[in-house]
Structure 1
Amino acid sequence: MSITQQYLLDAYRARSLGEPVPPAPGTHDRRVAPQRRGDRRFRAVLAGRPVRHRFGAALDRWRRRPT
């Protein structure tokens, strides 16, 4: 069963029971991404690793590459 089919089934069930309809898939994706990034940084600190940003690290490697 796909995520869309599951959502439609849950929405139908909620409507028939008079409950609020669940949010559509992908509705809160923009809010979840920064939270996941913060969680990843927090876990790196707890593990004693340096907190590096992937994009910044890639830029540093690009700047330091020999020409």
Structure 2
Amino acid sequence: MSITQQHLLDVHRARSLGEPVPPAPGAHDRQVVREWRDERRFRAVLAGRPARHRFRDTLSRWRRRPI
């Protein structure tokens, strides 16, 4: 059974029982990734490491590099 079929089955069951409908799969992906990133930064600070933006730092280094 695919995730879409499972979701449709859960929606049908919830509606027939008068319960709130569950959120669609992937509805909160951005929030989960944002919380995961914040947790990594927090743990880095607790461990005494700088909480860096690695991707942003790399891009700025490439931009400053002489040609």
Q: What TM-score bracket applies, with the shorter chain setting the length?
A: 0.7 to 0.9
Q: 1:1-67 residue pairs with structure 2 within 5 A?
A: 1-63=1-63, 65=65, 67=67
* Alpha-carbon shift at residue 57 of structure 1 (Å): 2.2
For structure 2, the 5+ residue unaligned runs are none
Query: Quick one: distance in 1 between partners of 2:13 and 2:26?
Result: 20
Using the size of structure 1 for normalisation, the TM-score is 0.72
Query: Quick one: distance in 2 between partners of 1:15 and 1:63?
Result: 54
Which deviates further from its counterpart, 57-66 or 36-45? Answer: 57-66
**Percentage of pairs with the same residue:** 75
Using the size of structure 2 for normalisation, the TM-score is 0.72
CA RMSD in angstroms comes to 2.0
Aligned length: 67
For structure 1, the 5+ residue unaligned runs are none
* Alpha-carbon shift at residue 48 of structure 1 (Å): 2.0
